[in-house]
Structure 1
């Protein structure tokens, strides 16, 4: 009798746990994408990319070209330093504004 009761219990516990994990995963994915979309819709139309000679560079958006260039240079310095690169060699290699 105990064996049958345990089997019945597992027959609904496992699908329930799977359903809960799927709901939580879907909820997190929806929040992340809506945040990303709201940032992009209110975002800036200019971007710039800065790279060091060694290490990771930085990409940034800004409302003007000069703001985007400064932000990307700051990001490049930060990321190059973290990645073991050369932060003092960061240069903006691309900067433009997209048409609206």
Structure 2
């Protein structure tokens, strides 16, 4: 088992699915009520661009973006609807 290079802070809701871009620059986490988009790109102490998979980000972690339905869309979708299996698509 390997130790993680970077740990991202939790936001409260449990993550039910994770997808990562082919180049490791973006992570998409799915919860029941929202999606979490995290950029893993940072510059190391030598100024080289890296991802959180290839180096330790430390305090250089970018703020995650929360993507959720607007209140109106949430009402239209109903109470029993949940996000599941969010993923990146490449056309």
Question: What TM-score, normalized to structure 2?
Answer: 0.26
Greater C-alpha radius of gyration: 1
The higher relative CO (CA closer than 8 Å, separation ≥ 6) is in 2
Question: What TM-score, normalized to structure 1?
Answer: 0.25
Larger % of helix: which? 1
